[in-house]
Every structure is written in structure tokens, then in C-alpha cells.
Amino acid sequence: MKGKVALVTGAAQGIGEAVARALAESGVSVAAVDQNEQGLRSLVTDLEKTGLHAEAFTADVGNSAAVEETVGMIERNIGPIDYLVNVAGVLRTGLITSLSDEDWEKTFSVNTAGVFHVSRSVAGRMITRRNGSIVTVGSNAACVPRMQMAAYAASKAAALMFTKCLGLELAEYNIRCNIVSPGSTDTPMQRSMWSGRDGAQAVIDGSPEAFKTGIPLGRLALPADIANAVLFLLSESSRHITMHDLRVDGGATLGV
């Protein structure tokens, strides 16, 4: 992977940050994209201290024009994009009857339209080079109904199927498109759903009254666990894998 160029959205925190760091440590030049300018600056500064290459690009993936401008800037400033990792995501929880229009629209703007905007822009350039690898970080909630997570689950299900369709269309150009679907991962987004000091254990145990299984492996994922799966699917080690959904959830969806 050394010498390649990667665009990572949602790179300022959580899984996106872990992916950006793992790629940089593998010798990849990372274009880190996020709306969180301060978080991006912190990441890039930290990586550069150890001699790794990353550049920050502040953009809203829900804004098509901003995405196209940012992708063009990355290719001019760093080089042709070899890898794309769609990680940017938001979470709005609540019963369906209590979700606002803004909750629904914002969730889909980032989690679904954002994947479309960035993938379309990058894929168009990859096609001319007949090479590339794209990974969308989804969620195991895309495959299992979850109470109070309808907007998030639906948006991730749409992103999952979009990425599979993208992989089918791009296969003839030697461009692979895959999905990594994490389960509960120790990130700020996950912690925002906890109530009380035993939030992690409650997630591990599951909740029969909410029809939610626990985690058979008995622990939350770390962001690095997800990043490792992303790097595998980007790399030549998975050169004959495309349109695949790789669950990284400790068995929470019971292999279904």
C-alpha cells in the first residue's frame, strides 16, 4: 500500500480517525476529510510529527458541489486517489413517531447522500485509470431492525446496497467496492447512547425487551478492529473480493 493515496471521510474522530492513522502508518498519503476542522488539524499534526503524510480537507459530504471541489483539490495537491473510505456518519435516535423531518433528512444527507456524492466523484476518476478500491463503513444495524434507530439503520442499509451496485458497475474497470459493517464500537457515537456507568456492559449483555442480542465475544470493538478490516478490503490481499459486506461485530448478528 506504500505510496498510494487515500481519501477518508469522517477522519476527525472514531473509526474514521483509526482508518486514517492505519493507512498513514502503512505508507499511504491520506486526504482526511471532515466537517470538524479542529479534529482534522489535530490528526494531521500528530501524524506529521512521526513523519507520516496526511492533509486536512474540511467539507460537508452532504454538499455535492463541495465534495466535487474537494476531490479535485485532493487529486491536484496530493495525487490520483487509489483508495476511498466512506466513514462519515451521524446518528439521530428516537421512536419513529418522534423523529423530526430534520432528523431524517440530516441522517440521510450524511450517511447515504454523502456516500453517493464522494463515491461518484472519486469513481469517475478511478474509471479513467481502471484501478481503485472503495470501502464504505456501514453498520450491522443495516441488516437487523433496531428500536429507536430507524433513520440510522435505513440510511446505512441504503448505503450498503448502493455500494454493492457501485461494485457491480465498476467491476469491469478493475475497481472493487466493499462494505465493512461494525457492530458496537467504542467511539464517541457509541458512548452518546449510554446511560449510566455500565453502558458498555449493557451493550455487551444485550436487551431482550428491546429485541437486541448481546455480543457473543463479550467485548466492544475498538476502532482499530474496524480499521484492520478496512485495510484488508482495500489491499491486494482481497483482490478477488468485491460487493462483500464484512461484519465486524463480535457475532452480534449471529452470522446472519
List residues with catalytic annotation: 152
Give CB contacts under 8 A, 24+ apart, made by 18-22. 18/222, 18/223, 18/224, 18/226, 18/227, 19/85, 19/87, 19/137, 19/226, 19/227, 19/230, 19/231, 20/47, 20/54, 21/47, 21/227, 22/224, 22/227, 22/228, 22/230, 22/231
Provide the phi-psi class of 132: left if phi over 0, else alpha when psi is between -120 and 50, else beta: left
Sorted by sequence, the CB contacts under 8 Å of residue 189 that are 6+ apart come out as 14, 89, 91
Cβ count within 10 A of residue 128: 9
Q: Which helix (H) or strand (E) holds 43?
A: helix 37-49
Pairing of strands 175-182, 54-58: unpaired
Quick one: how many helices (H) and strands (E) in the chain? 9, 7
C-alpha–C-alpha distance, residues 18 and 224, integer Å: 6
Single out the residue of 166, 185, 174, 186 nearest to residue 120, CA to CA: 166
